[in-house]
Amino acid sequence: MEPYDAFHAIDPFAAAASAFDRLTQVLAGPESAALPHHDLEDLIGVRGRELLRLLFQARLDLRERQERDQMEWTGRGMVRGADGKVRPHREPGHSRALACVFGTVTVTRTAWRGRSMTSVHPLDADLSLPAGLHSHGLRRLAVMEAVRGSYDQAKEAIDRRCGKVLGKRQAERLVVEAARDIDSFYLSRVPMPATASTALVLQVDGKGIVMRPEALRPATLKAHRDKQQAMRTRLAPGEKPNRKRMATLACVFDVDPAVRRPHDIIAPPEGRGGDRPPRPGPRATAKWLCGSVIHPAEHTVAAAFDQAEARDRDHARDWLVLVDGAHHQIDLVQAEAGRRGIGVHILIDIVHVSEYVWGAAHCFHQPGTPECEAWVAGHLTTILHGQATRAVAEITAQADQGGLRGTSREGADACIRYLTGHADRLHYDTALASGWPIATGPIEGACRHIIADRLAITGSRWGLDGSEAILKLRALKDNGNFEEYWRHHLAREHERLYPTPDRHDYRLTA
C-alpha cells in the first residue's frame, strides 16, 4: 500500500479524501474485477481501516489548528494548572502518539510552561486523552476480548481488526487498569426496589485458581516449596499440588415465591401421574455477582450482605442463604448476619444432599438399578418433607440390620454424618411452602462460567492483579453492567488525569 500524508497544510482532510479516491479507483479498475468476494472484503478491510485512521488523524490536526487560532484570536493568554499555578509561556508543536482501533495517530498540541513547573496541555483534557499510548476505544476492545478468551486469542483478534497496535503484556496491563473502578461503581448504584413478599437470596461458593508461586497464600506456598524440595516425580495418592488459591464468589438475587411440594422436586418411586404435572420453581431476577481472589472470603460475604441490605434496608423481606455445606462459609455467613443484626434462613443445597444419599444407596443396592433409584427417591422425599432425622434413623437401622462394616458402610456413615451435622439447615418443608429456591444453581453456574471457563484455561497460571481483574470484569459483564460501568470508568479516569480547581477544566486567563 502506498503511504498517505496524514497532514495537509491547507485542508487536513485532503489525505483522507485522496485515500478514498484511490480506493474507489482500485475497486472500479480492472485489478479488482476478477477478485472473489472474500478477497474484496480483505482489500476493503485493510484500505478502509487506513482511510478511517486518516480521517481520525485529520480531525486531530484540525483540532490542533483550531487551538492555535483560538489562542491567536484571544491574545497571548495564560493557563492555570491543576496545582492552581499559572503557566504563562506557550510552546506549540508538542506531539504524542495515540494507538487507536484504526491504527496509530499523532496528537499535536500546545504546551503551557512555567519555571520549575510541569507542562500543561489543555487539548489533552479537552480530548480526554489517556495517560499511556492506547486510546480508550482500544482499551475497551482489549477488555472485551481478554475477558472472553486467552490473552493470545485477544491479541490475535485485535491484530485482525486494528493491526499491530497492542502487545500481549500491554493487554494484560490494560485489563488490570480497566477494573480499578468496579468497587466504586457498585457503591454508587442504587438497586431496584422490590416488594416485601419477594424473597432475597444470597449464595456463596469458592473455586481454586492455579496461581504463580508468588501469588499463593503463605501456607500454600510453603507446602508447594516443601513438595518441590522432596523432588518426587509424581504426587502421592491424595496429595495436592498446592498450586491453587481459592477465589470466593457471591450471588444475590430476588425471587417471587413459587410454592411447591416434595414430589415437584423428586418423582415418587411409582412415577409421576399425568394429572399432576410438577409445579415450576422460583426464578431468579435482578441477579448480581461479585467475587475476589485477593481478598479473604469474609470480604466477599460482606460485599454480598452490603448488596442485600441496599435492596432491603428495613429488613422487611425474607433473607435466604443457600450454601453447599462448607462449615467455613456457614460460619462466615452467621458471623456477618449477627454483626448486622439480620435474621437469615440458611439452607443446604439439595443437590449436595442428594449426592450423599446416592452414596449411601450404593451401600445397599447395585448402582444403576431401579431399586437403587427408588431407595434414593424415597429418602430424598422424606428429607424434603423436613424429616431428615427420620431419614438418618432409617439409614442407620438398615445398615445395622444388614451387618455392614468397614468400607462397605462408608457411604452410609458419610450420609448420616452430613445429615446429622446440618440437621438445623435442612428445613426444606418450610422453604417449599414459602416458595423459596432450594438449590445453588446460580452460584454453581457462576463458578463454572466466571472462573472455570476463563481462569482455568489449560496451562494458565495467574498473578493476583490479573486474576482479580478478570474475575471482576467477567462478573460485571455477567451482571449486564459493562456499558454503564465503562462510562463511569472513563469519567473517573478523566478526573484522575486532569484534576483542576476549575471543575476539572483548564482555562485560559487574560
pLDDT tens, residue by residue, 394-424: 999 999 999 999 999 999 999 999 999 999 9
Q: Kindly state the average pLDDT of the residues 159-170.
A: 93
DSSP 480: T
Q: At what angle do helices 482-497 and 464-478 cross, to 10 degrees?
A: 130
Say what percent of the chain tops pLDDT 90. 73
Give the mean model confidence (pLDDT) for residues 21-45: 91
Residue 229 vs residue 415, higher pLDDT: 415
Instruction: Check residue 141 and give its pLDDT.
Output: 97
| Location of C-alpha cell 449436595 | 352
**Residues paired with residue 97 on neighbouring β-strands, in sequence order:** 106
What is the C-alpha separation between 412 and 26, in angstroms, rounded? Answer: 78
pLDDT at 332 over 70: yes
Least Cα distance to 447 among 480, 477, 483, 474 occurs for 474
Whether the predicted pLDDT of 136 surpasses 90:
yes
The mean pLDDT value for 247-274 works out to 86
pTM score, whole prediction: 0.87
Measure Cα distances from 474 to 70, 135, 139, 215 in Å. 45, 22, 16, 20
For residue 277, the model assigns a pLDDT of 80
* Mean pLDDT for the chain overall: 89
Cβ–Cβ < 8 Å for 206, 247 = yes
Angle formed at CA 439 by CA 335 and CA 357, multiple of 5 degrees: 100
pLDDT of residue 273: 61
Side chain identity at residue 162, one-letter code: C
- The whole-angstrom separation of Cα 67 and Cα 110 is 8
Q: Which residue has the higher pLDDT, 32 or 331?
A: 331
pLDDT above 50: residue 510: no
pLDDT of residue 216: 86
**Mean per-residue pLDDT, 122-145:** 95
Quote the pLDDT of residue 164. Answer: 92
Give the residue-averaged pLDDT of 227-243: 61
Residues 6+ apart with CB under 8 A from 60: 105, 106, 107, 108, 127
Paired with 285 in beta bridges are 254
All residues at 6 or more sequence positions from 115 whose CB lies less than 8 Å from its CB, including other chains: none
Q: What is the mean pLDDT of residues 109-136?
A: 92
pLDDT band at 196 (very low <50, low <70, confident <90, very high): very high
Q: What is the pLDDT of residue 236?
A: 58
Cβ-Cβ contacts under 8 Å for 362 (sequence gap 6 or more) = 372, 411
Give the pLDDT score at 475. Answer: 96
Average pLDDT, stretch 464-493? 96
Average pLDDT over residues 39-43: 92
pLDDT digits (tens, 9 = 90+) for 353-378: 999 999 999 999 999 999 999 999 99
- More confident of the two residues 298 and 193: 298
CA distances (Å), 267 to each of 176, 227, 277, 378, 435, in order? Answer: 49, 49, 10, 9, 19
Query: What pLDDT, on the 0 to 100 scale, is given for residue 190?
Result: 83
Instruction: Check pLDDT > 50 for residue 4.
Output: no
Give pLDDT tens digits for 277-302: 888 999 999 999 999 999 999 999 99
| pLDDT score for 442 | 92
